Amino acid sequence: IFIVVISILLLGVSFLYAEWVHVTGGYLSNVQFVGNDGWVTDNYGRIRHSSNGGANWEIQESGVTERLYGVYFVSSTTGWISGNDGIILYTDDGGAIWTSQTSGTTDRLDVIFFLDSLNGWAGGSYGTFLHTTDGGGTWVPVSATTYHIYS
């Protein structure tokens, strides 16, 4: 029991001295980490990336100016981002280059999720719900609801 108590105390002290980094510039919408690599989306079409657990952030060019919402990575290199006007962006190099995928909608896409590098879903306003089985090469509407899908 002594070892358990000491472990809890040491863990508490490490949280006490942890430092949070304030990221500025725009409304930050979503964040995801895979190991030490993290990505954050904002309302100016910017993507911020950290390769050191959030200690430092750098802007990655998305190629769009619309608000970005959802972010999901299946590895430290392969990921997708969704946003206003049906935007879906894809990267296979950790975000150095982002490529647009055709979603087939102009509705806002608040959330995006992938089981693996092929099977994913995106959802958003007016019940828009999309599915892909080829990594986003094609997105197919799924009958869902008229309610907004946020998560």
Q: Is residue 19 part of a domain?
A: no
Average pLDDT over residues 56-72: 95
Domains held by the chain: number: 1
Q: Is residue 151 part of a domain?
A: no
What is the token pair recorded at 70? 């959802």
Distance CA 87, CA 120 (A): 15
Q: Is residue 107 part of a domain?
A: yes
Average pLDDT over residues 75-85: 97
Q: Is residue 17 part of a domain?
A: no
Contacts of 72 (CB under 8 A, 6+ apart): 32, 79, 80, 81, 112, 113, 114, 120
Q: Is residue 2 part of a domain?
A: no
Contacts of 112 (CB under 8 A, 6+ apart): 70, 71, 72, 80, 81, 82, 88, 120, 121, 122
Cα atoms found within 13 Å of the Cα of residue 44, Cβ hemisphere only: 9
Q: Is residue 50 part of a domain?
A: yes
Residue 77 maps to which CATH number? 2.130.10.10
Residue 35's domain comprises 27-141
Residue 15 banded pLDDT, cuts 50, 70, 90: very low
Average pLDDT over residues 36-58: 94
Q: Does pLDDT of 79 surpass 80?
A: yes
Q: Is residue 111 part of a domain?
A: yes
Q: Is residue 135 part of a domain?
A: yes
pTM: 0.81
